[in-house]
Every structure is written in C-alpha cells, then in structure tokens.
C-alpha cells in the first residue's frame, strides 16, 4: 500500500481499532519475588489516532508498551490479549512477532543516544529495517534511508546518512529513531517517552514530526510520557495509569477539563498552570510513591495516597466505568476507576489543551 493510499484509507477508517489490548497483565519473576507490573489493562487504538498514556515512573506504562510487540525479557509473564488487526500477538511465535516488529508495530525509545547503535552509521541502522522487512538491497535501503531522513526533517540528509550517532545532536538522533521506526510504514508507532531526554524547543520539533506522520501517513501513535504538557500538545485521547492499572480514560479535552479520578486530579494539580501559580500558590504534590506490588489486591491501589479514600476503597477494586456524578450529563467515552470521583469538575484554562 502506498503512503497516499494508506493516508486515504486511514482518514476514511478512523474509529476501527487497529490494536486491541484486552486484560493485559504482566508479572516479573525477580530474585526478590514476583512483581506485578501491569494489571488487566485494556486499550483500543483506532486507526490514525494519537493516544497518550500518562503516569508516574513505575506505573507500568513502558511495560505495557513493550509487551505489545513481545519485547519484554524472559522473566516477564504475560497474560491477556493483544490483537493487531485481529492477529493475536500474546503467545505468538517469535517468527510471527519478528515480522510484526519494525514492520507493523514500530518503537521510538526515550534515550536516542543509547538507543542507537554507536558503531553503525545511521543510514545502515535505518537501512537494516528495510533489508529485513522489504527485502531491499543494501544500496536501495541506503537510498531510501536518505528519503526517510529528509521526511523527518533532517537537513542535508544525503550527508547525514553516513554519520554515526555521536556526530548528531540529541534532537537529530531522535529524528533518526523516528525515521527508522517509520521506514516500513508501520500501522502502529509506540513512542516511549520520545521527548523526555530532549530540551523543550527540540521537544516541540519532535512532536511536530509525530503529528505530521499521523496526518500524512495515517500512522496510529501511542505516546507514553509522564509529561502532561506533551499529552495536551499531541494526544487525541488519554489513558492514565497508576500502579499497573488504567485508572482513567478520556478524550484529552474532557480529561483536562474534568479529571474524575483522584490520581488524575492530583497529577493535574501538580502541574503548573500559567498565571495561576505565579509566585503565590504552591504546586500541590501527591504524597507518597507508586507502590511496587507483588500481587494486585482487590482494592484501590491509590487509596493510601488518596485524600478521599474510605473503607470501600480498601475493600474492593473500583471498576473502570462511565462516571455519573450528580446532575452532570455523563460523557460516554470518559471512564474512571474510582469509588469517589471528584464531584465538582475542575476547570482547566484552555491554554493547556491548545
């Protein structure tokens, strides 16, 4: 399928899930016992949409992302289902997964310095994907690498293609990573903290590249970040994760306007808002840390850090469902897993979502 056809197909088919994640659970066996990293996460990625996944360090975002294409180490035990256009990936044979990786589902990682091989030229590293999946010759792959480098906005790509990663700046390296990821026109692009290691101006450029890819190639993108600013900037929908569970899921504007889960509300309150906090008001922090769980309890795992927690929160885990509070008309695609959702929706200034 050419890129044009794919873009056309994408725009007509927005809403069909490309990737369906159902009840995905991941536990690790370590020397200190088992660790439950992801607990029954469900998630749909529609064609051509950008979904943000947000949460603190250790909440299971990256593990979820890695498990999609089976990239976790052998010590991980995965259950549940990940379907790419109907094809089951959990428990699939390595040879099947290898054909999916890089071709159908591609990754961008946080540290472009360490994520690129220091001893190979960037052209070679991009070309490798094409040689494997498109059976291109080394020469053709190199030529295509030059095109891809210009596609992601690298100037004088014909020269840069023979550079080694250490000869490029951080932003350029991340563009190389993106070029590598989109080389085979993947259906899904998983960007794990794509801008965390970059400074803010470079960050904006990288997010623009991702948006362009979605607009031009119809790529579905899952952006994983702890930075709400990135989510507000790029995502259509948001999934909030806490201690391995999805605690809230909504359209990005709805979430920023009315966070229901107490954890989401806490995250938003801990982010600075222009004007509001100028020198007078302290940012609110969420007390405590994300717990490391050996098993998932039948309780709200946020309860011990939550201002609204009561016995019900410790007795049973709240389901992820549409929230009905008071007289407000429920938003059907805004779900939260909370027994005591925030009653009066916090209103966020429009700047954050712009």
Partner 1 sequence: MARYLVTRAWHSALTLLLSTVVVFLGVRALPGDPALALAGEDRSPEALEAIRHHYGLDQPLPLQFAQYVERIVQGDFGVSIRTGIPVSSMLTTALPVTVELSVLAILLATALGVGAGVLAAVRRGRPAEWLANGLALVGLSVPHFWLGLLAILYLSVAAGLFPASGFVPLLQDPVGNLHHIVLPAVILGTGLAAIIMRQTRSAMLDALSSDHVRTAKAKGLRPRAVITRHALRNSLIVVVTIVGLQLGGLISGAVVTEQIFGLPGFGKMTIDAVFQRDYPVIQAVVLLTATAYIVINFLVDLLYSVIDPRIRVTGDPA
Judged by CB, which is closer to partner 1: 109, or 256? Answer: 109
Work out how close the CB of 245 gets to partner 1 at its nearest, in angstroms, rounded to a whole number: 25
Judged by CB, which is closer to partner 1: 71, or 143? Answer: 71
**Distance between CA atoms of 189 and 212, rounded to whole angstroms?**
13
Nearest to 50, CA basis, from 214, 255, 266, 286: 214
Nearest to 188, CA basis, from 218, 160, 221, 142: 221
Nearest to 274, CA basis, from 354, 199, 203, 349: 349
Nearest to 190, CA basis, from 202, 177, 203: 177
Judged by CB, which is closer to partner 1: 45, or 317? Answer: 45
**Distance between CA atoms of 153 and 175, rounded to whole angstroms?**
7
- Residue ranges in contact with partner 1 by CB under 8 A: 69, 71, 97-103, 106-107, 109, 111, 114-120, 128-129, 132-133, 164, 166-167, 177, 180
DSSP code of residue 331: P
Nearest to 221, CA basis, from 256, 180, 178, 255: 178
**Are 85 and 188 contacting, i.e. CB atoms less than 8 angstroms apart?**
no
Helix (H) or strand (E) segment spanning residue 17: strand 17-30
Judged by CB, which is closer to partner 1: 129, or 228? Answer: 129
Work out how close the CB of 125 gets to partner 1 at its nearest, in angstroms, rounded to a whole number: 8
Work out how close the CB of 105 gets to partner 1 at its nearest, in angstroms, rounded to a whole number: 8
Work out how close the CB of 303 gets to partner 1 at its nearest, in angstroms, rounded to a whole number: 35
Judged by CB, which is closer to partner 1: 76, or 293? Answer: 76
Work out how close the CB of 72 gets to partner 1 at its nearest, in angstroms, rounded to a whole number: 10
Judged by CB, which is closer to partner 1: 99, or 211? Answer: 99
Work out how close the CB of 164 gets to partner 1 at its nearest, in angstroms, rounded to a whole number: 4
To which residue do tokens 């259509």 refer? 236
Q: Which two tokens mark 305?
A: 């850090």
């Amino acid at each position: 399928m050419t890129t044009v056809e794919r873009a056309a197909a994408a725009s007509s088919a927005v809403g069909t899930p490309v990737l369906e994640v159902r009840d995905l659970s991941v536990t690790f066996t370590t020397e200190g016992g088992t660790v439950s990293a992801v607990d029954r996460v469900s998630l749909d990625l529609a064609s051509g949409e950008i979904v943000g996944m947000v949460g603190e360090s250790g909440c299971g975002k990256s593990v979820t992302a890695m498990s999609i294409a089976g990239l976790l180490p052998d010590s991980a035990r995965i259950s549940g289902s990940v379907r790419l256009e109907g094809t089951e990936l959990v428990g699939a044979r390595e040879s099947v997964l290898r054909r999916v990786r890089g071709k159908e589902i591609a990754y961008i990682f946080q540290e472009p310095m360490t994520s690129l091989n220091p001893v190979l030229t960037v052209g070679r590293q991009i070309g490798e994907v094409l040689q494997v999946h498109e059976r291109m010759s080394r020469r053709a792959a190199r030529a295509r690498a030059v095109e891809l480098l210009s596609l992601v906005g690298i100037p004088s790509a014909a020269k840069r293609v023979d550079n080694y990663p250490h000869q490029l700046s951080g932003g350029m390296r991340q563009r190389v990573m993106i070029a590598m990821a989109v080389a085979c026109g993947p259906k899904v692009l998983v960007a794990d903290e794509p801008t965390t290691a970059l400074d803010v101006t470079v960050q904006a450029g990288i997010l623009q590249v991702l948006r362009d890819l979605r607009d031009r190639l119809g790529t579905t993108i899952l952006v994983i970040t702890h930075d709400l600013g990135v989510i507000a900037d790029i995502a259509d929908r948001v999934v909030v994760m806490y201690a391995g569970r999805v605690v809230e899921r909504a359209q990005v504007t709805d979430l920023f306007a009315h966070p229901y889960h107490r954890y989401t509300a806490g995250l938003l309150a801990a982010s600075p808002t222009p004007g509001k906090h100028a020198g007078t008001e302290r940012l609110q922090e969420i007390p405590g840390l994300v717990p490391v769980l050996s098993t998932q309890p039948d309780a709200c795992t946020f309860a011990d850090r939550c201002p609204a927690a009561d016995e019900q929160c410790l007795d049973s885990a709240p389901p992820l469902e549409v929230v009905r509070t008071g007289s407000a008309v429920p938003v059907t695609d805004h779900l939260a897993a909370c027994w005591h959702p925030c009653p009066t929706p916090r209103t966020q200034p429009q700047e954050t979502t712009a």
